[in-house]
Structure 1
Amino acid sequence: MRSIWIVGALCLLATWFFAHLYQGLLTAYEQSGTLTEMEYSWFFRLLLNLAGYSTILLPGFILYKYVDRSNYFDKINGSGCLSQVLLSCFGEPTERLPESTKPTKVVETSARAEGAELAFCFTGLMGTYLVWGLLQEKIMTQNYVMSDGSLVKFNDSQFLVFINRLLAFSIALGRLLCARKPFVAAPLYKFSYCSLTNIISAWCQYEALKYVSFPTQVLSKSCKVIPVMLMGKLVSRNKYELYEYVTAVLISAGMALFMFGSRDDYSESTMTTMSGVTLLALYMVCDSFTSSWQGALFTQYSCDPMQMLCGVNLFSCLLTAAALVHHSSTATSIQLLQHPVFATDCLLLSLSSAVGQLIIYRTIAKFGAVVFTIIMTLRQAVSILLSCLVYGHNVSVGGAFGVLLVFGAVLLRVYCRQRLRRRRPADI
């Protein structure tokens, strides 16, 4: 159809227009000393990031609406290269087996093999995410000594998100190619929703380290229980038991005790503290939507974990690259990559993040979410202990009680879930 080429040309023109508009806004921001020096300058940087993402999302939305309203796939034979690309991006896959006809795998393993697998998952998750957490704090809070003796502090959270997502996409794509699995299991555009919230949550997570300590950020993740439950009811219409609501309140109360009872070296003013709290809240909302949307895609399309990882990180790379291409700080970040210590930190951070995601999928597939929750709870406890020892963060008695309350509530949640499953084995 000739009209699709016209729409494609209009989308390219829209991309060019939005890119130049974004470049103008970015230049105006960087030349405005007032905005860049404000305590809430992160808010304007976030708006600029969204403007950069729009250079990809808005033209894609225009193309999607045309394909949808014109019933494009009903009018073509699907043999052309352009048709195949559009079908991968916006078309529904036609070769999906019904749930009732899907074969089930029965795998028999010995107790020794199962124990070895559990030990591998435990040590893998513990090692990768301990390294990831410590390197995340080091990159965002420490100075790097350059060859001329000057001190440089890395502050481009967007660039760090791009590096992490690029390596994760490369690993996932390589795994799919080696296994000869199809790249597309669901319409590609559906990965853009959770990809957008994923990179926003990652950006907020890195940016928050400028305003709160790492232990505060780690414990704030325990408060994700409530937004995850709300997103689950909103996106997937999930139902929750009474104990889940009770433990969610206890976790939130423990987090509040920690935040108000701890002495944070990074939070020297009320305004700075509010910036950190706002960034953490935005992180939790976006991250909750990401997991809920991914869960819905897993249920609807039976995606392979590698296909999910590849699709999400593909859009993450495109969106972050679109936001970075006009940033003046991008050139500085690339130059900083020539620093061997910084380059090594970025590489290890990205590897630990990507490998950690792979082990997460393996743990849940082998042992279920309960065992995974216990392992990640232990990882959080060790992360806080190591951060306090390495970076000298102080936690008061009230804050320590909050820590105990948070972890006690998580363990209570796991215990109640196990009891409920034993009483209702038919629901498992």
Structure 2
Amino acid sequence: MNRMSEQDVMSSITNSWVGSLAVNLLCYSTIFVPGYFFIHFVKKSKYIDRAGSSCISKAIVSFVYGHGYDRIAGEENTQSKIAGAKSSNNNCVQLIFCFVGLQVSYLTWGVLQEKVMTKEYQNADGSVGHFKDSQFLVFVNRVLAFSLAAVYLGFSRQPRHTAPIYKYSYCSFSNIMSSWCQYEALKYVSFPTQVLAKASKIIPTMIMGKIIGKKKYEYFEYVTAILISAGMTMFLLGSTESKSGSDNSTTISGVIILAGYMAFDAFTSNWQGELFSQHKMTSLQMMCGVNLFSCLLTVTSLTQQGSFGPSLSFMFTYPTFFWDCLILAVCSASGQLFIFHTIAVFGPVVFVIIMTIRQGLAILLSCILYSHPVTVLGILGIILVFIAIFMRVYCNHRLKQLQQRRAAVDTAKV
């Protein structure tokens, strides 16, 4: 009887997004708190001065201090690979391959994401169920991404890894939280609203860049960020999806969760950028390290909450959900690989253009498949958002051209 009452209490807590978030954070603390004291103890005791050559000693040193060797050679190898890729004769074929890969991966991922979190599943026996555990979906996605990255690293030649492994835990945590917010937000807002929120995350990303990397931005970057935010507001005001029965608490919950998503996502990208600039690891090494901690955190939390069993049971009770979940994870992992390859071969400008097109197609697909009505004001907001994004890409490209010309002129004068 007491056991049932405890389960009822836990269920009532986790049924609300606030309670679920609090429980998740408490579970994550069982990893972070001991880890903090372990790192503090190793550094304070100057373990590196007396570390031996055993596997355990090397693992501790790599986890806390990292390795400072072969960094320059690693950079040269990486640059030569990228240069070789750019000088190849099949750039056009690769561009088409990247474009199609990104569109298929993330359009499929977006549609399935909305289906998994908002639609009911039915099996052959006629029983109906609705999956609610966002964290389990994050875990499945991260396990497959980590496995693919680890296998790739195992069969390819990479520069020596120099970063302290524990530093991946920060962006891993923020990545988990942004993914959790992304899934959880679909319970309160529609998929088009979430996609437009992603398009408007430039402002929090710029703010986080100033805080973490002390970055400076051009005036056009501020202008386009404001235009994107204005377009997002027009879309929200012009959306007619909210029914008369909806209350303010649902709207407030959706806004809070989306704000959390943008903040965590902004921290993730900026922290990863700092790691890239400081330690010069490859994208696959970053992918492997981040997903390693993501798997550790999510599996610990799921196990402590006792939600691993019910989620697996739901997966095998409803075969359609199993395949949706598997395809969702495959699309998430393959999408990461396409992102890294596109940026490495063609640069970030081409990648942003491709992903901007993806966002527009995602909204169009969702409105068609799930009948999300949008008014004229909402359509104008969408147009304003994407015009601002393309303006940002164009201005960035022009600025880089001017900087290259100035550098060439200065070199010629010398």
1:82 to 35, 43, 56: 56
Cα offsets for 1:278-313 (capped at 9, x unmatched): 000000000000000000011111111111000000
What is the deviation of 1:241?
0.3
Q: Which residue of 2 aligns with 1:58?
A: 33
Aligned CA distance change for structure 1 residues 291 and 30 (closer, same or farther; 3 Å): farther
Whether contact under 8 Å (1:200, 1:286) holds in the other structure is yes
Q: How far apart, CA to CA, are the structure 2 residues paired with 1:312 and 1:33? A: 30
Whether contact under 8 Å (1:157, 1:203) holds in the other structure is yes
Q: Which residue of 1 aligns with 2:352?
A: 373
Q: Secondary structure at the match of 1:238?
A: coil
Is 1:303 paired with 2:278? no
Instruction: Provide runs of 4+ in structure 1 moved above 3 Å.
Output: 27-30, 32-37, 98-104, 108-112, 180-185
Is 1:348 paired with 2:327? yes
Cα offsets for 1:340-373 (capped at 9, x unmatched): 2111101100000100011101111111111111
Partner AA of 1:368 in structure 2: G
Q: Which residue of 1 aligns with 2:66?
A: 92
Aligned CA distance change for structure 1 residues 30 and 53 (closer, same or farther; 3 Å): farther
Q: Secondary structure at the match of 2:71?
A: coil
Q: Which residue of 1 aligns with 2:364?
A: 385
Q: How far apart, CA to CA, are the structure 1 residues paired with 2:197 and 2:347? A: 24
Identify unmatched segments of 5+ residues in structure 1.
1-26
What is the deviation of 1:374?
0.6
Q: Which residue of 2 aligns with 1:47?
A: 22
1:238 to 215, 221, 224: 215
Alignment of 1:45-194 (within 5 A): 45-76=20-51, 78-98=52-72, 102=76, 104-105=79-80, 106-107=83-84, 113-181=90-158, 184-194=161-171
Whether contact under 8 Å (1:217, 1:280) holds in the other structure is yes
Whether contact under 8 Å (2:86, 2:345) holds in the other structure is no
Alignment of 1:9-24 (within 5 A): none
Q: Which residue of 2 aligns with 1:282?
A: 260
What is the deviation of 1:54?
1.1
Q: Which residue of 2 aligns with 1:251?
A: 228
Q: Secondary structure at the match of 1:136?
A: helix
Q: Secondary structure at the match of 1:137?
A: helix
Q: How far apart, CA to CA, are the structure 1 residues paired with 2:72 and 2:311? A: 48
Aligned CA distance change for structure 1 residues 32 and 139 (closer, same or farther; 3 Å): closer
Partner AA of 2:326 in structure 1: L
Q: How high is the TM-score relative to the length of structure 2?
A: 0.91
Aligned CA distance change for structure 1 residues 28 and 226 (closer, same or farther; 3 Å): farther
Q: Which residue of 1 aligns with 2:195?
A: 218
In the alignment of these two chains, the number of paired residues is 399
Q: How far apart, CA to CA, are the structure 1 residues paired with 2:8 and 2:141? A: 25
Q: How far apart, CA to CA, are the structure 1 residues paired with 2:323 and 2:74? A: 48
Q: Secondary structure at the match of 1:107?
A: helix
What is the deviation of 1:34?
6.1
Partner AA of 1:125 in structure 2: L
Aligned CA distance change for structure 1 residues 245 and 396 (closer, same or farther; 3 Å): same
Cα offsets for 1:58-81 (capped at 9, x unmatched): 1111110000111111122x3123
Q: How far apart, CA to CA, are the structure 1 residues paired with 2:364 and 2:130? A: 25
Q: Which segment is superposed worse, 296-305 or 173-182?
A: 173-182
Quote the RMSD (CA, aligned, Å): 2.2
1:264 to 231, 241, 248: 241
Whether contact under 8 Å (2:70, 2:159) holds in the other structure is no
Cα offsets for 1:105-126 (capped at 9, x unmatched): 2427678611111111111101
Q: How far apart, CA to CA, are the structure 2 residues paired with 1:173 and 1:59? A: 26
Whether contact under 8 Å (1:176, 1:182) holds in the other structure is no
Cα offsets for 1:372-416 (capped at 9, x unmatched): 111001000000000000000011111111000100100111111
Q: How high is the TM-score relative to the length of structure 1?
A: 0.88
Whether contact under 8 Å (2:366, 2:372) holds in the other structure is yes
Is 1:395 paired with 2:374? yes
Whether contact under 8 Å (1:29, 1:35) holds in the other structure is no
- Aligned-pair identity (%): 49
